[in-house]
Amino acid sequence: MKFLQQPPRFLFFTGKGGVGKTSIACATSITLAEAGNRVLLVSTDPASNVGQVFGVSIGNQITAIPAVARLSALEIDPQAAAQAYRERIVGPVRGLLPDTVVKSIEEQLSGACTTEIAAFDEFTELLTDTVLTQAFDHIVFDTAPTGHTIRLLQLPGAWSGFLEHGKGDASCLGPLAGLEKQRAQYKAAVDGLADPAKTRLVLVARAQRTTLQEAARTCGELASIGISRQYLVINGVFPIDAVAGDALAESIVTREQAALAAIPAALSALPTDQIALKPFNLVGLEALRQLFLQTGPATADPPAEPPSVQAPSLSALIGDIAAEGHGLVMLMGKGGVGKTTLAAAIAIELARRGLGGHLTTSDPAANLNDTLDGTLDHLTVSRIDPEQVTEQYRAQVLASKGDKLDAAGRALLEEDLRSPCTEEIAVFQAFARVIREAGKTFVVMDTAPTGHTLLLLDATGAYHRDVARQMGETGMHFTTPMMQLQDPKQTKVLIVTLAETTPVLEAADLQADLRRAGIEPWAWIINNSVAAAEVTSPLLAQRARNELREIDSVANQHASRYALVPLLKDEPIGLKRLQRLMDLQA
């Protein structure tokens, strides 16, 4: 593997959700450790599953992996980091200030922005604190899905710039003096990320047009912040010699080879490795050791006919949703499970039934227009663009509050609006507007990958608590976005997953998080199932058999209702193919 040749101390694996970053980061860590290096594997993903891959409880502390000598791991827990961050700020004034003031400070520090800043503090500490990491030769980062990763990597520059110019209210950042102490650490983090002698950035993609385009965008964004020395790994490529006359396998190979032939120019110049699709699940030490081999181990089971699966269809779920006449349909789940495609298919089907509606996304990496490749009467398509809504929010605040201020006051307000926390407020307001619209029509929302969505829900919950406290004092009736999300008559949350061990475990964790927020998922959708398709290839047949246990666990342990969507020969892009996806499920 090119990316493993003469590796520097820091290795980052990033890319669109679902492309296999965690598996590759884990396999890299094992390879380096078994070559005699002391390795620390770090996950910065709010939806981390490194512990699940190794079968070890890790958490927010450096933990040795018993089965691999010289390997340790750490999962940066955003919530635990945020709690510690809040306590550092609030602790010194607790007992000195009135309880009402302390409570107000704690509420201001309860939002998603504080959570991200706290996780970022731990991230930069690992990059810059030589005492903390001196026991390790290599530190391998399994980063979050692309949008979150870009945001995380840009934060060193963003906060440094904010500290350089900021003299006003630090909003939810806490006392500005506290951040001033981190200035040197942030600068060292930026310098370390941009130094190819210290850091190697590995883009992970699949042999698919959309994920390669996303990798190309990531490549450019990283280069713009000084990270120009990058590598590319294309994961899960179907072996041409494993087609074995299977029509589905042949169509997969044709699609993948066409995508590879048309690889974006930004990627074609990068040192590139390909990893073949394996017939086994990438969970457990032995499977991870086989990942970088050209051929996997022989399967334990002898060749057999692929399984036959009977499961509810997506069309049946749509019928139950349509019966409500209106409402918010939110698709949530790990990146790369097909939320965008399924959201588009559901919105199109509702429009075909004469129910119209609005299809929108809060995923920074999503492109609904590419998926639809056309327009449909009675269906509005939009995207909550963080940069756009933030600029609109700034303009709105300056036009209202700033209009009555003198020059000095307006300058102070403009300074405060440059705080990175402003984006959190702007995105939340756009999200709330979408929720209100669902009271009259159907709104189908393709959400960002899990961790980012949970941060948005955290902001929604903080707003709900603030309104409830204020309105409770007046006795007036009120409705908040969180109350609408918690009402199954108004909101139906569909958890999208794949019939694989890790995505199902992550979906179950997401469901638990939603339940803690008082939101009960309405249904699960298992997407791109090989077991639900017709296959003859031994490789696909083995993968289909691997799916049976996961399908059973969704049906009998996790979901109150579910649907199974097969892997299709033709990629469901464009109105006609999306409509055909629903027709096949009828």
Query: Which one is catalytic: 23, 110, 146, 341?
Result: 23
Annotation says 22 is catalytic: yes
Query: Which one is catalytic: 14, 16, 17, 22?
Result: 22
450 and 493 Cβ atoms separated by less than 8 Å: no
Question: Distance between CA 289 and CA 170 in Å, rounded?
Answer: 47
Residue ranges of alpha helices (H) inside 10-98 are 21-34, 50-54, 78-90
Question: Distance between CA 50 and CA 27 in Å, rounded?
Answer: 11
Sign of the CA dihedral running 125, 127, 131, 137: positive
443 and 325 Cβ atoms separated by less than 8 Å: no
Annotation says 474 is catalytic: no
Query: Which one is catalytic: 14, 15, 45, 360?
Result: 45
272 and 232 Cβ atoms separated by less than 8 Å: yes
156 and 125 Cβ atoms separated by less than 8 Å: no
Query: Which one is catalytic: 20, 166, 236, 336?
Result: 20
524 and 302 Cβ atoms separated by less than 8 Å: no
- Kind plus residue range of the DSSP H or E element containing 445: strand 442-446
Query: Which one is catalytic: 48, 218, 491, 502?
Result: 502
Annotation says 45 is catalytic: yes
Question: Cα dist. 572→200, 250, 380 in Å?
Answer: 35, 16, 20
Annotation says 23 is catalytic: yes
88 and 173 Cβ atoms separated by less than 8 Å: no
Query: Which one is catalytic: 21, 278, 334, 339?
Result: 21
Give Cβ neighbours of residue 238 (< 8 Å, ≥ 6 apart): 207, 249, 252, 253, 256, 276, 277, 539
Question: Distance between CA 60 and CA 138 in Å, rounded?
Answer: 19
Annotation says 21 is catalytic: yes
Which residue type occupies 9? R
Which residue type occupies 149? T
562 and 554 Cβ atoms separated by less than 8 Å: yes
Q: Which residue's entry shows tokens 């599953």? A: 49
Which residue type occupies 300? A
- Kind plus residue range of the DSSP H or E element containing 74: strand 71-75
- End-to-end CA distance of the chain: give it in Å, rounded: 45
Annotation says 268 is catalytic: no
- DSSP for 234-286 reads EEEEPPGGG-TT-HHHHHHHHHHHHHHHT--HHHHTS-EEEEE--SS-S-SHH
Nearest to 329 by CA among 312, 310, 309, 349: 349
The catalytic residue positions are 18, 20-23, 45, 502
